[in-house]
Protein backbone atom coordinates (compact mmCIF):
# COMPACT_ATOMS: atom_id res chain seq x y z
CA UNK A 1 0.00 0.00 0.00
CA UNK A 2 1.09 3.54 -0.63
CA UNK A 3 1.94 5.60 2.39
CA UNK A 4 0.91 9.23 2.68
CA UNK A 5 3.90 11.53 2.77
CA UNK A 6 4.18 14.90 4.38
CA UNK A 7 5.80 17.37 2.00
CA UNK A 8 6.54 20.79 3.43
CA UNK A 9 5.81 23.53 0.91
CA UNK A 10 7.20 26.37 3.04
CA UNK A 11 6.28 30.00 3.01
CA UNK A 12 6.48 30.88 -0.66
CA UNK A 13 6.35 34.66 -0.60
CA UNK A 14 9.69 35.09 1.16
CA UNK A 15 11.47 32.35 -0.79
CA UNK A 16 10.36 33.71 -4.18
CA UNK A 17 11.69 37.17 -3.40
CA UNK A 18 15.03 35.77 -2.26
CA UNK A 19 15.25 33.44 -5.25
CA UNK A 20 14.61 36.16 -7.81
CA UNK A 21 17.90 37.85 -6.92
CA UNK A 22 19.98 34.81 -6.07
CA UNK A 23 21.22 34.04 -9.58
CA UNK A 24 21.75 30.57 -10.97
CA UNK A 25 22.00 27.48 -8.84
CA UNK A 26 25.30 25.65 -9.07
CA UNK A 27 25.39 23.57 -12.25
CA UNK A 28 22.77 25.51 -14.19
CA UNK A 29 24.07 26.94 -17.46
CA UNK A 30 23.98 30.69 -18.00
CA UNK A 31 21.65 30.05 -20.95
CA UNK A 32 18.87 27.47 -20.95
CA UNK A 33 17.73 25.70 -24.16
CA UNK A 34 14.30 26.88 -25.27
CA UNK A 35 11.86 24.95 -27.43
CA UNK A 36 8.21 24.73 -28.33
CA UNK A 37 5.54 22.11 -27.74
CA UNK A 38 3.99 21.12 -31.08
CA UNK A 39 0.56 20.33 -29.61
CA UNK A 40 -0.07 24.09 -29.47
CA UNK A 41 -0.01 24.18 -33.30
CA UNK A 42 -2.33 21.22 -33.90
CA UNK A 43 -4.94 23.22 -35.88
CA UNK A 44 -2.34 23.72 -38.61
CA UNK A 45 -2.30 19.94 -39.16
CA UNK A 46 1.42 20.00 -39.91
CA UNK A 47 3.42 16.78 -40.07
CA UNK A 48 6.64 16.30 -38.11
CA UNK A 49 9.21 17.66 -40.57
CA UNK A 50 7.34 20.97 -41.19
CA UNK A 51 6.97 21.33 -37.41
CA UNK A 52 10.73 20.96 -36.99
CA UNK A 53 11.37 23.48 -39.75
CA UNK A 54 8.99 25.99 -38.18
CA UNK A 55 10.64 25.53 -34.79
CA UNK A 56 14.04 26.21 -36.33
CA UNK A 57 12.68 29.32 -38.08
CA UNK A 58 11.96 30.80 -34.63
CA UNK A 59 15.60 30.22 -33.64
CA UNK A 60 14.72 27.70 -30.96
CA UNK A 61 16.98 25.01 -29.55
CA UNK A 62 14.58 22.15 -28.88
CA UNK A 63 11.27 20.68 -29.94
CA UNK A 64 8.74 18.54 -28.09
CA UNK A 65 6.71 16.41 -30.51
CA UNK A 66 3.45 15.89 -28.65
CA UNK A 67 0.44 14.06 -30.09
CA UNK A 68 1.98 13.90 -33.55
CA UNK A 69 -0.44 13.99 -36.49
CA UNK A 70 2.12 12.57 -38.92
CA UNK A 71 0.97 9.43 -40.80
CA UNK A 72 4.37 7.91 -40.06
CA UNK A 73 4.12 8.48 -36.32
CA UNK A 74 4.71 4.79 -35.47
CA UNK A 75 7.00 3.94 -38.40
CA UNK A 76 10.64 3.29 -37.41
CA UNK A 77 11.82 4.57 -40.81
CA UNK A 78 10.06 7.86 -40.10
CA UNK A 79 11.66 8.07 -36.65
CA UNK A 80 15.10 7.88 -38.27
CA UNK A 81 14.17 10.60 -40.77
CA UNK A 82 12.92 12.92 -38.03
CA UNK A 83 15.92 12.26 -35.80
CA UNK A 84 18.36 13.03 -38.61
CA UNK A 85 16.46 16.16 -39.65
CA UNK A 86 16.48 17.45 -36.07
CA UNK A 87 20.24 16.90 -35.91
CA UNK A 88 20.69 18.72 -39.23
CA UNK A 89 18.75 21.69 -37.82
CA UNK A 90 21.03 21.75 -34.79
CA UNK A 91 18.47 21.06 -32.07
CA UNK A 92 19.95 20.35 -28.67
CA UNK A 93 16.98 18.20 -27.77
CA UNK A 94 14.08 16.43 -29.47
CA UNK A 95 11.66 14.98 -26.95
CA UNK A 96 8.36 13.15 -27.28
CA UNK A 97 5.95 10.70 -25.70
CA UNK A 98 2.44 9.36 -25.54
CA UNK A 99 -0.80 9.95 -23.67
CA UNK A 100 -2.71 8.59 -20.68
CA UNK A 101 -1.52 5.26 -19.29
CA UNK A 102 -3.99 4.39 -16.51
CA UNK A 103 -6.17 1.47 -17.62
CA UNK A 104 -9.91 2.03 -17.19
CA UNK A 105 -10.45 -1.57 -16.06
CA UNK A 106 -8.24 -4.37 -14.76
CA UNK A 107 -8.51 -6.32 -18.02
CA UNK A 108 -6.97 -3.38 -19.92
CA UNK A 109 -3.77 -3.42 -17.86
CA UNK A 110 -1.71 -5.47 -20.31
CA UNK A 111 -2.81 -3.25 -23.21
CA UNK A 112 -1.59 -0.24 -21.24
CA UNK A 113 1.76 -1.93 -20.68
CA UNK A 114 2.09 -2.71 -24.39
CA UNK A 115 1.22 0.86 -25.39
CA UNK A 116 3.77 2.34 -23.01
CA UNK A 117 6.43 -0.08 -24.24
CA UNK A 118 5.72 0.95 -27.83
CA UNK A 119 6.03 4.61 -26.87
CA UNK A 120 9.39 3.84 -25.24
CA UNK A 121 10.51 2.22 -28.50
CA UNK A 122 9.39 5.29 -30.47
CA UNK A 123 11.17 7.66 -28.09
CA UNK A 124 14.40 5.71 -28.48
CA UNK A 125 14.00 5.69 -32.26
CA UNK A 126 13.56 9.46 -32.34
CA UNK A 127 16.51 10.02 -30.02
CA UNK A 128 14.35 11.35 -27.20
CA UNK A 129 15.79 10.84 -23.71
CA UNK A 130 12.29 10.83 -22.22
CA UNK A 131 8.85 9.49 -23.02
CA UNK A 132 5.90 11.58 -21.88
CA UNK A 133 2.98 9.90 -20.14
CA UNK A 134 0.07 11.13 -18.10
CA UNK A 135 -2.10 9.19 -15.71
CA UNK A 136 -5.56 10.33 -16.89
CA UNK A 137 -7.00 13.27 -18.77
CA UNK A 138 -8.56 14.81 -15.66
CA UNK A 139 -9.90 13.97 -12.22
CA UNK A 140 -13.32 13.07 -13.63
CA UNK A 141 -11.72 10.55 -16.02
CA UNK A 142 -10.27 8.44 -13.22
CA UNK A 143 -12.03 5.06 -12.94
CA UNK A 144 -14.27 4.32 -9.96
CA UNK A 145 -12.44 3.84 -6.69
CA UNK A 146 -10.18 5.88 -4.40
CA UNK A 147 -7.35 7.94 -5.86
CA UNK A 148 -4.80 5.88 -3.90
CA UNK A 149 -5.92 2.78 -5.80
CA UNK A 150 -5.22 4.47 -9.15
CA UNK A 151 -1.85 5.67 -7.91
CA UNK A 152 -0.97 2.09 -6.96
CA UNK A 153 -2.07 0.81 -10.38
CA UNK A 154 0.10 3.44 -12.08
CA UNK A 155 3.10 2.49 -9.95
CA UNK A 156 2.57 -1.18 -10.80
CA UNK A 157 2.37 -0.37 -14.50
CA UNK A 158 5.51 1.77 -14.43
CA UNK A 159 7.47 -0.93 -12.64
CA UNK A 160 6.42 -3.43 -15.31
CA UNK A 161 8.20 -1.40 -17.99
CA UNK A 162 11.26 -0.45 -15.94
CA UNK A 163 13.63 -2.84 -17.69
CA UNK A 164 12.36 -1.81 -21.12
CA UNK A 165 12.87 1.87 -20.30
CA UNK A 166 16.33 1.49 -18.75
CA UNK A 167 17.53 -0.75 -21.59
CA UNK A 168 16.38 1.93 -24.05
CA UNK A 169 18.07 4.69 -22.05
CA UNK A 170 14.72 6.45 -21.76
CA UNK A 171 13.17 8.03 -18.69
CA UNK A 172 9.37 8.08 -18.29
CA UNK A 173 8.14 11.65 -17.75
CA UNK A 174 4.82 11.83 -15.93
CA UNK A 175 2.98 15.02 -16.85
CA UNK A 176 1.16 16.68 -13.98
CA UNK A 177 -2.17 16.86 -15.78
CA UNK A 178 -5.69 17.58 -14.52
CA UNK A 179 -5.84 14.30 -12.63
CA UNK A 180 -3.61 14.30 -9.53
CA UNK A 181 -2.33 17.09 -7.36
CA UNK A 182 1.44 17.54 -7.36
CA UNK A 183 2.03 15.87 -4.00
CA UNK A 184 0.18 12.80 -5.30
CA UNK A 185 2.17 12.76 -8.54
CA UNK A 186 5.38 12.98 -6.53
CA UNK A 187 4.40 9.88 -4.56
CA UNK A 188 3.85 7.98 -7.83
CA UNK A 189 7.31 8.98 -9.08
CA UNK A 190 9.03 8.04 -5.82
CA UNK A 191 7.18 4.75 -5.41
CA UNK A 192 7.77 3.70 -9.03
CA UNK A 193 11.46 4.65 -8.94
CA UNK A 194 12.99 8.05 -9.54
CA UNK A 195 15.90 6.39 -11.35
CA UNK A 196 13.67 5.87 -14.41
CA UNK A 197 10.58 8.03 -13.75
CA UNK A 198 10.58 11.82 -13.61
CA UNK A 199 8.31 14.84 -13.94
CA UNK A 200 7.13 16.43 -17.15
CA UNK A 201 6.50 19.66 -15.27
CA UNK A 202 3.69 21.73 -16.77
CA UNK A 203 2.70 25.12 -15.36
CA UNK A 204 -0.75 25.25 -16.97
CA UNK A 205 -2.47 22.17 -15.57
CA UNK A 206 -2.04 22.98 -11.84
CA UNK A 207 -4.82 25.59 -11.85
CA UNK A 208 -7.32 22.88 -12.81
CA UNK A 209 -6.51 20.95 -9.62
CA UNK A 210 -6.54 23.99 -7.30
CA UNK A 211 -2.79 24.53 -7.26
CA UNK A 212 -0.62 27.56 -7.55
CA UNK A 213 2.05 26.56 -10.14
CA UNK A 214 4.71 27.44 -7.56
CA UNK A 215 3.28 24.72 -5.31
CA UNK A 216 3.60 22.27 -8.19
CA UNK A 217 7.20 23.32 -8.77
CA UNK A 218 8.09 22.83 -5.10
CA UNK A 219 6.86 19.24 -5.20
CA UNK A 220 8.01 18.17 -8.65
CA UNK A 221 10.94 20.47 -9.47
CA UNK A 222 13.59 18.10 -8.07
CA UNK A 223 12.30 15.35 -10.39
CA UNK A 224 11.79 17.51 -13.50
CA UNK A 225 13.10 16.15 -16.78
CA UNK A 226 11.56 19.01 -18.80
CA UNK A 227 9.68 22.20 -18.03
CA UNK A 228 6.68 23.36 -20.10
CA UNK A 229 5.54 26.95 -19.61
CA UNK A 230 1.86 27.83 -19.94
CA UNK A 231 0.15 30.91 -18.55
CA UNK A 232 -3.34 31.22 -17.07
CA UNK A 233 -5.83 33.73 -15.81
CA UNK A 234 -7.38 32.69 -12.50
CA UNK A 235 -10.14 34.74 -10.92
CA UNK A 236 -13.15 34.62 -8.63
CA UNK A 237 -16.51 33.78 -10.21
CA UNK A 238 -20.02 33.66 -8.71
CA UNK A 239 -19.97 29.87 -9.12
CA UNK A 240 -16.43 29.35 -7.82
CA UNK A 241 -13.08 29.99 -9.51
CA UNK A 242 -12.62 30.56 -13.25
CA UNK A 243 -9.42 29.42 -15.00
CA UNK A 244 -8.36 29.95 -18.60
CA UNK A 245 -5.10 29.48 -20.52
CA UNK A 246 -3.59 32.50 -22.27
CA UNK A 247 -0.31 33.36 -24.07
CA UNK A 248 2.82 33.57 -21.92
CA UNK A 249 3.18 36.77 -19.98
CA UNK A 250 -0.49 37.69 -20.30
CA UNK A 251 -1.82 35.83 -17.27
CA UNK A 252 -1.15 35.64 -13.56
CA UNK A 253 1.82 33.26 -13.37
CA UNK A 254 5.01 34.94 -12.13
CA UNK A 255 7.44 33.23 -14.49
CA UNK A 256 10.47 35.21 -13.32
CA UNK A 257 9.97 33.92 -9.77
CA UNK A 258 9.09 30.44 -11.00
CA UNK A 259 12.22 30.13 -13.12
CA UNK A 260 14.39 31.54 -10.36
CA UNK A 261 13.10 28.83 -8.03
CA UNK A 262 13.48 26.17 -10.74
CA UNK A 263 17.15 27.10 -11.03
CA UNK A 264 17.51 26.32 -7.34
CA UNK A 265 15.79 22.94 -7.21
CA UNK A 266 15.46 21.47 -10.72
CA UNK A 267 18.18 19.53 -12.58
CA UNK A 268 20.42 21.77 -14.70
CA UNK A 269 20.21 19.82 -17.96
CA UNK A 270 16.51 20.24 -18.73
CA UNK A 271 15.04 22.14 -21.67
CA UNK A 272 12.22 24.65 -21.25
CA UNK A 273 9.32 24.55 -23.71
CA UNK A 274 6.79 27.21 -24.64
CA UNK A 275 3.29 25.67 -24.49
CA UNK A 276 0.46 28.20 -25.02
CA UNK A 277 -2.74 26.17 -25.43
CA UNK A 278 -5.28 28.92 -26.09
CA UNK A 279 -8.66 29.47 -27.73
CA UNK A 280 -10.60 27.61 -25.05
CA UNK A 281 -13.30 29.09 -22.81
CA UNK A 282 -12.78 29.66 -19.12
CA UNK A 283 -13.55 26.61 -16.98
CA UNK A 284 -15.44 27.08 -13.73
CA UNK A 285 -14.26 25.16 -10.66
CA UNK A 286 -17.31 25.01 -8.33
CA UNK A 287 -15.28 24.63 -5.17
CA UNK A 288 -18.06 25.92 -2.93
CA UNK A 289 -20.31 22.95 -3.78
CA UNK A 290 -20.35 20.40 -0.96
CA UNK A 291 -20.07 17.44 -3.31
CA UNK A 292 -17.12 18.81 -5.23
CA UNK A 293 -14.52 17.96 -2.60
CA UNK A 294 -15.46 14.29 -2.58
CA UNK A 295 -12.94 13.92 -5.42
CA UNK A 296 -10.26 15.67 -3.35
CA UNK A 297 -10.66 14.05 0.09
CA UNK A 298 -7.05 14.73 1.11
CA UNK A 299 -6.55 18.19 -0.39
CA UNK A 300 -4.21 20.32 1.69
CA UNK A 301 -5.59 23.48 3.21
CA UNK A 302 -2.35 25.48 2.93
CA UNK A 303 -2.03 24.69 -0.78
CA UNK A 304 -5.66 25.56 -1.44
CA UNK A 305 -5.11 28.85 0.40
CA UNK A 306 -2.20 29.70 -1.92
CA UNK A 307 -4.39 29.00 -4.96
CA UNK A 308 -7.31 31.06 -3.63
CA UNK A 309 -4.97 33.96 -2.88
CA UNK A 310 -3.86 33.87 -6.51
CA UNK A 311 -7.50 33.85 -7.67
CA UNK A 312 -8.31 36.79 -5.41
CA UNK A 313 -5.70 38.87 -7.23
CA UNK A 314 -6.73 37.69 -10.70
CA UNK A 315 -9.10 38.99 -13.34
CA UNK A 316 -10.60 37.76 -16.64
CA UNK A 317 -8.53 37.87 -19.82
CA UNK A 318 -9.18 41.19 -21.53
CA UNK A 319 -7.31 40.86 -24.83
CA UNK A 320 -9.04 39.61 -28.01
CA UNK A 321 -9.12 35.83 -28.42
CA UNK A 322 -11.08 33.52 -30.69
CA UNK A 323 -12.69 30.94 -28.39
CA UNK A 324 -13.53 28.08 -30.69
CA UNK A 325 -11.04 25.37 -29.74
CA UNK A 326 -13.38 23.24 -27.67
CA UNK A 327 -12.12 19.77 -26.65
CA UNK A 328 -14.44 17.04 -27.87
CA UNK A 329 -16.10 19.21 -30.51
CA UNK A 330 -15.05 19.62 -34.12
CA UNK A 331 -14.16 23.23 -34.87
CA UNK A 332 -16.73 24.70 -37.30
CA UNK A 333 -15.22 25.13 -40.77
CA UNK A 334 -15.61 28.92 -40.74
CA UNK A 335 -13.45 29.22 -37.61
CA UNK A 336 -10.59 26.96 -38.70
CA UNK A 337 -8.49 29.69 -40.41
CA UNK A 338 -8.93 31.95 -37.40
CA UNK A 339 -7.83 29.25 -34.95
CA UNK A 340 -4.86 28.35 -37.17
CA UNK A 341 -3.76 31.97 -37.32
CA UNK A 342 -4.27 32.40 -33.58
CA UNK A 343 -2.31 29.31 -32.58
CA UNK A 344 0.67 30.43 -34.66
CA UNK A 345 0.45 34.04 -33.49
CA UNK A 346 0.07 33.09 -29.82
CA UNK A 347 3.06 30.78 -30.13
CA UNK A 348 5.22 33.52 -31.59
CA UNK A 349 4.11 36.04 -28.94
CA UNK A 350 4.92 33.51 -26.25
CA UNK A 351 8.33 32.68 -27.71
CA UNK A 352 9.17 36.39 -27.85
CA UNK A 353 8.20 36.76 -24.17
CA UNK A 354 10.28 33.72 -23.19
CA UNK A 355 13.32 35.11 -24.97
CA UNK A 356 13.05 38.81 -24.23
CA UNK A 357 11.54 38.88 -20.74
CA UNK A 358 12.62 35.53 -19.30
CA UNK A 359 16.02 35.40 -20.99
CA UNK A 360 15.56 31.83 -22.19
CA UNK A 361 17.17 30.28 -25.25
CA UNK A 362 20.64 29.87 -26.67
CA UNK A 363 19.95 31.99 -29.75
CA UNK A 364 19.01 35.65 -30.01
In a domain, 157, yes or no: yes
Q: Which structural domain, as residue segments, surrounds residue 58?
A: 12-356
In this structure, is residue 2 part of a structural domain?
A: no
> CB under 8 Å, gap of 24 or more: what pairs does 286-294 form?
286/239, 286/240, 287/210, 287/240, 287/241, 288/239, 288/240, 289/240
In a domain, 362, yes or no: no
> How high is the mean pLDDT in each 10-residue block of the chain (364 residues)?
36 34 58 97 97 98 98 98 98 97 97 98 98 95 95 98 98 97 98 98 98 98 98 97 98 97 96 97 94 92 97 97 90 95 98 98 93
Alpha carbon distance, N-terminus to C-terminus of the chain: 50
Residue 6 belongs to some domain of the structure: no
**Cα-based torsion angle of the residue sequence 46, 50, 55, 59 in order, rounded to the nearest 10 degrees:** -150
pLDDT at 329: 87
In a domain, 283, yes or no: yes
Inside any domain, residue 1:
no
CATH of the domain at 25: 3.20.20.150
Q: Do 239 and 286 meet the contact criterion of CB atoms below 8 Å apart?
A: yes
Model pTM?
Answer: 0.92
Count of domains in the chain? 1
Quick check: is 67 in a domain? Answer: yes
Assigned domain for 106 exists:
yes
Q: Tell me how far apart the alpha carbons of residues 68 and 79 are, in angstroms, rounded to a whole number.
A: 12
3-state secondary structure the chain: CCCCCCCCCCCHHHHHHHHHCCCCCCCCCCCCCEEEEHHHHHHHCCCHHHHHHHHHHCCCCEEEECCCCCCCCCCHHHHHHHHHHHHHHCCCEEEEEEEECCCCCHHHHHHHHHHHHHHHHHHHHHCCCEEEEECCCEHHHCCCCCHHHHHHHHHHHHHHCHHHHHHHCCEEEEECCECCCHHHHHHHHHHHCCCCEEEEEECCHHHHHCCCHHHHHHHHHHHEEEEEECEEEEEEECCEEEEEEECCCCCCCCHHHHHHHHHHHCCCCCCEEECCCCCCCCEEECCCCHHHHHHCCCCCHHHHHHHHHHHHHCCCCCCCCCCCCCCCCCCCHHHHHHHHHHHHHHHHHHHHHHHHCCCCCCCC
Amino acid sequence: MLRRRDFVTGIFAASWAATATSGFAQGWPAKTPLGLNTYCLRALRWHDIPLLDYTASLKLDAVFLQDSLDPGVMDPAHWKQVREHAAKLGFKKLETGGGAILPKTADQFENSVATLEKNIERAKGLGSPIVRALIASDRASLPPGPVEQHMETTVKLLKRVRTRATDAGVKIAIENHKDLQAWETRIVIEQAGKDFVGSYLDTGNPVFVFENPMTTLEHLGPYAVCLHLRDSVVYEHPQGIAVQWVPLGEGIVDFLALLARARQIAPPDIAVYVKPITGRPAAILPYRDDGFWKTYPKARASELASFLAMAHKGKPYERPMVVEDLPGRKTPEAFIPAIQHQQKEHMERSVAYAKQTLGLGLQS
